[in-house]
Structure 1
Amino acid sequence: MKTYFKYISLFIFVALIGCDNEIPEINQLPVLQPESEDADAGNWQTVLDVDYFSAITIKNPNEFTDQELNDENDEIINLTQNRTSSQEEKAKFWSAGGVLRWNQIARDLVIKYNVAPNVGATPDPTHPFANPPFAARAYALLSVAQHDALIAAWHYKYEFMRDAPGNRIEGLNSLFSASDLPSYPSEQAVIAEVSFEILSHLFPKEKEYLEEKMNEHIKSTIWAGKAGNLDNLAGKEIAGVVSDAVKEYAANDRMNQSADPNDEHLTYFNIPSRIETPWECLQLPLRKPMLPFYGLVKTWYDSTRIFQDAPEPPPAIDSEEFQQDLKNVRKISDNRTREQWRISDFWADGGGTYTPPGHWNQIAEGLIVDVKWSEVRTARAYSIMNRAIMDAGIVCWWSKFFYYLPRPSQLEPEIKTATGIPNFPSYTSGHSSFSSSAGTVLGYLFPAKKQELEKMYIEAGISRVYGGIHYNIDNIAGRKSGESVGRLAIEWAQSDNSN
């Protein structure tokens, strides 16, 4: 586990006291110098089955007028020769990689909005509750948009082969060494614009902040001498087309039907109970359960195959197997060791955090930094993993509200929990489902770390048993389901033309 702590300690997040606080700044990372530019990435498979190229209308750079070229050259020479210390600092910040930086911003937004609304409050679509299912979807939508937009950008880069400014403009005071990656369209403008569009769609109240970050990111490419205005305008055009497609997908993925539609009574579900002692809300005042219909949201990977491997029914509550499991939770509760406390706390990822899906996004970041992947390959990794995390959460929530298994402390009130009790049924474990899907995908992408990652997702799952809020049957079933989704994601990755 020591290597993992290297990853988790890369960044220090400033605590957020209230929802009106600013998003925290994040520590610096090394300048991204990819070991490969992935020149063939324009032929990789996109996630959405959309003909992006029929809608993208960027110009061939050979058609630019002399005036356009001269204006672009004058601007970039002037800004690089008169770069301020503040501009240089911001250029270095974004030079660590736009995909990484915008995923950090996404995690910070989740931290800020992961606060449960007051009981009985009228839902505010402009101020979402960034709970784990919401967060999983947010990370997935962002990474899919980045992935598909960058594939389109790479297609045009290697069609037009426009040299980077440092290789074609005299008098340029570049901040970094010139890259062999063609500059048109600008991949950084693509990332900035598409990330702004998706995150401001998910977090409408943050639009001004996100627009500021987008503009800073795009301008940083000129301050550093990495791209010109014409490169950036083309990148924004691509991002607009892709972000519109991703937002259209999001509008039809059934997420808007995942909450309890009954606004008048505290009825928890409209399906007859399948269990003699069904789950009950243990929070006071009583609160509706978290997104009971999330299990019906559209999956990214093959839904038929996902649900063919859906968790089987848990043991009957009066069975010896179940009673032994319950006794084990009580035993841990009565004799919880310091190490069990530590593990429970470390993986808790409750309110006011980036959630379990965000925890695995940060783990992925550490791995990606080490291998120095290109922007497009980084986006691919996040896209494959985050879609798996979301799908694992969907089948987990289906199981929760199909089997309706009560939490251990509902059946045994003497159980002392080490963390808050989530407001939804017990079987299967969300932590185990999210973590095993992510760890399985990352084990494929980073085979040298596969065993370590497996230990990590096993520990993440058992942490909830140590915390007294799950039975081990929840943990094991969630792990199996998450691993199954992870394997489906790997199948997709093996056929996306990237290898």
Structure 2
Amino acid sequence: MKTLYLLLAVIIAVVTMTRCNMDLATELEYESYAFSGIDSDAGSWKPILISAGSDISVDEPTAQNSPVFLAELEAVKSRISSMSNDQKKNVDHWTNNAVLRWNEVALGLIAKYNLIPGPNVDESYSLPDPANPAGPPVFPFAHPPYASRALAYLSVAQYDGMISAWHYKFQFNRPAPYRVDSEISHAYVSNNLPSYPSEGAVLATVSREILTAMFPLEADYLKELEEHHLESLILSGENVPSDLAAGKKIGEEIAAIALARASNDGMKYSQSPKAVSDSLRKVAFDRFGWQWVNLESPVRPVGLTPLFGKVKMWSVQNVESTRPGMPPAPGSEAFQKDVKILQDYADNVTQERRRIANFWQDGLGTYTPPGHWNDIAGEYILKYKMNSIRTARAFAYMNMAIMDGGISCWDTKYYYYYPRPIQLIKDFETIAGTPNFPAYTSGHSVFSAAAAEVLTYLFPQEGSIFREWAEEAALSRIYGGIHWTFDATVGTTQGRDVAQYTIDVAKTDGADD
């Protein structure tokens, strides 16, 4: 791959016209819409956590001419007739593709909790504790590795739940209330999906369960959102209560399976004790003759998640198989060439380079690089009018690749323990601070390249622009003075390579048949 700094002119010319004028937000403005298709066979697609959609069982629904079902219809009509203006706004908010809305909730929580714990009065540091989430400091610190994992579990659980819902929808083919009773108005564009079980209820419950585990202090808020979403399903004319009950059952069971995996994936050990971190540093120094040094004041004793590289991956069996080769040794010809490049950028900061560095920074108080790419994905999901199961699939595979990319990147960071530019270049200054973990490879580059590759698989006609944005995200870290050029170029290749494992899995799930 050509080095990123040689692609500068081309990337800026293309991206400036296309991406960077787009105002990213954590809530998309969209209404219900006609799906490009309903994928009636999606119940046979291969899930990720379970072996088949039929693994989760639900009861057969009552017949549509039964007294029980007719009573449900009357109750729905009564509730719709007394709907308040606030309830109407709530119905409009959730729409007929609420996968996007729950993804937005996750992005908002990531931004809220993406705050690094500061030092104590005695200049020591305390870690967020899931057993005492109120702290201080509060749990979690939603840094990029944490964000990537939260989004992956949320999206995978949503996708598996949707497959199970689709399996039973087209097995039982119960029509939606508005199709049975003409007096029931339908608030959304109709896509003629069977209503039992409710895919919306699956989403509401599985999303609340996963996000509560990831952000325990938000339990009440998330429960309220779940209730609002469930209410919208009735008041929109989409479902009757028994549709919701079946959907909630699927959501609860899938969430339990997902959280069982999460409890044993190794994340709880990722923020290692100082002794473990020091041993990694010593091994790297003995092997390579260099070491990253944390320049924070007061010095934080351990960098960010030294053992995130040991967390269980989704699509890769052995993280070491994705670890790139050694970076240039400090003092070598290749290294000195990079020093010159970075010094030139630092001495000649242009408005365009500063804008790029800031646009892709995604630092503290934001939804992080993984969240940025979820935001991008949402725009294209809407552009191509994906239905809710296709939406869940897109987020699932993209976030699996992002998380796997992050694990591979962090394995590389703490294997090589490579110093940051600010540590090795005298009097060097950065645009956007310096993260508290080793340089090689660049997390932004890996996260972005992994996301871009999966999005290219999903939306092949848009592939060139996704890859250009990933290149620009990588460049942004060089312009900011945060990374060496080889951190970015190698990281981009690494992200693409890791993503291919996920794409290979996606190609076998039946959705492309």
Pairwise TM-score range, normalised by the shorter structure: over 0.9
Task: Give the structure 2 partner of residue 301 of structure 1.
Answer: 315
Paired with 1:321 and 1:270, the residues of 2 have a C-alpha distance of 23
Paired with 2:19 and 2:224, the residues of 1 have a C-alpha distance of 33
Paired with 1:52 and 1:270, the residues of 2 have a C-alpha distance of 46
Paired with 1:227 and 1:254, the residues of 2 have a C-alpha distance of 40
Letter in 1 for 2:109: L
Instruction: Report Cα offsets for 1:390-426 as digits up to 9, x if no partner.
Output: 1111111011101111000101132110102000000
Paired with 1:276 and 1:223, the residues of 2 have a C-alpha distance of 66
Task: Give the structure 1 partner of residue 168 of structure 2.
Answer: 156
Work out whether 1:233 is the aligned partner of 2:248. no
TM-score by length of 2: 0.90
Task: Give the structure 2 partner of residue 254 of structure 1.
Answer: 266
Pick aligned residue for 1:121 from 121, 126, 146? 126
- Gaps of at least 5 residues in structure 2 are 1-14, 120-124, 134-138
Q: Is the 8 A contact 1:102 1:195 kept in 2?
A: yes
Paired with 1:286 and 1:488, the residues of 2 have a C-alpha distance of 38
The 3-state SS of whatever aligns with 2:340 is helix
Paired with 2:82 and 2:365, the residues of 1 have a C-alpha distance of 42
Paired with 2:106 and 2:426, the residues of 1 have a C-alpha distance of 38
Task: Give the structure 1 partner of residue 335 of structure 2.
Answer: 322
Q: 1:422 to 1:359 in 2, by over 3 A?
A: same
Pick aligned residue for 2:386 from 373, 397, 400? 373
Cα deviation, residue 64, structure 1? 8.4
Q: Is the 8 A contact 1:10 1:366 kept in 2?
A: no
Work out whether 1:58 is the aligned partner of 2:58. yes
Paired with 2:364 and 2:96, the residues of 1 have a C-alpha distance of 29
Letter in 1 for 2:305: L
Instruction: Report Cα offsets for 1:36-70 as digits up to 9, x if no partner.
Output: 0111110111012446634x342111368945323
Work out whether 1:443 is the aligned partner of 2:456. yes
Q: Is the 8 A contact 1:194 1:239 kept in 2?
A: yes
Letter in 2 for 1:72: E
Work out whether 1:393 is the aligned partner of 2:394. no
Q: Is the 8 A contact 2:35 2:191 kept in 1?
A: no
Cα deviation, residue 270, structure 1? 6.2
Paired with 1:266 and 1:457, the residues of 2 have a C-alpha distance of 31
Cα deviation, residue 9, structure 1? 2.6
Paired with 2:281 and 2:331, the residues of 1 have a C-alpha distance of 25
Q: 1:205 to 1:368 in 2, by over 3 A?
A: same
Paired with 1:431 and 1:498, the residues of 2 have a C-alpha distance of 30
Q: Is the 8 A contact 2:46 2:52 kept in 1?
A: no
Work out whether 1:104 is the aligned partner of 2:109. no
Pick aligned residue for 1:191 from 181, 203, 206? 203
Task: Give the structure 2 partner of residue 402 of structure 1.
Answer: 415
Decide which moves more: 70-79 or 179-188: 70-79
Q: CA RMSD in A?
A: 1.8
Paired with 1:5 and 1:460, the residues of 2 have a C-alpha distance of 11
Letter in 1 for 2:310: L
Give the alignment of 1:9-28 within 5 angstroms. 9=23, 11=25, 26=27, 28=29
- Gaps of at least 5 residues in structure 1 are 14-25
Paired with 1:388 and 1:60, the residues of 2 have a C-alpha distance of 37
Paired with 1:424 and 1:162, the residues of 2 have a C-alpha distance of 54
Instruction: Report Cα offsets for 1:308-347 as digits up to 9, x if no partner.
Output: 2321011111210011112211111111111110100000
Paired with 1:51 and 1:27, the residues of 2 have a C-alpha distance of 32
Task: Give the structure 1 partner of residue 89 of structure 2.
Answer: 89
Work out whether 1:80 is the aligned partner of 2:73. no
Give the alignment of 1:421-436 within 5 angstroms. 421-436=434-449
Paired with 2:159 and 2:188, the residues of 1 have a C-alpha distance of 25
Task: Give the structure 1 partner of residue 496 of structure 2.
Answer: 483
Cα deviation, residue 451, structure 1? 0.7
Q: 1:316 to 1:10 in 2, by over 3 A?
A: closer
Cα deviation, residue 455, structure 1? 0.7
Cα deviation, residue 82, structure 1? 2.2
Instruction: Report Cα offsets for 1:257-282 as digits up to 9, x if no partner.
Output: 1112238x984746522332310001
Decide which moves more: 113-122 or 463-472: 113-122
Cα deviation, residue 177, structure 1? 4.6
Task: Give the structure 2 partner of residue 22 of structure 1.
Answer: none
Task: Give the structure 1 partner of residue 8 of structure 2.
Answer: none
Paired with 2:448 and 2:357, the residues of 1 have a C-alpha distance of 14
Decide which moves more: 236-245 or 175-184: 175-184
Q: Is the 8 A contact 1:164 1:179 kept in 2?
A: no
Q: 1:60 to 1:259 in 2, by over 3 A?
A: same
The 3-state SS of whatever aligns with 1:220 is helix
Q: Is the 8 A contact 2:32 2:189 kept in 1?
A: no
Cα deviation, residue 449, structure 1? 0.9
Task: Give the structure 1 partner of residue 234 of structure 2.
Answer: 222
Q: Is the 8 A contact 1:396 1:433 kept in 2?
A: yes
Q: Is the 8 A contact 1:268 1:289 kept in 2?
A: no
Q: Is the 8 A contact 2:147 2:370 kept in 1?
A: yes
Identity percentage over the alignment?
40
Paired with 1:323 and 1:178, the residues of 2 have a C-alpha distance of 62
Paired with 1:201 and 1:62, the residues of 2 have a C-alpha distance of 34
Count residues with an aligned counterpart. 482
Q: 1:320 to 1:254 in 2, by over 3 A?
A: same
The 3-state SS of whatever aligns with 2:482 is coil
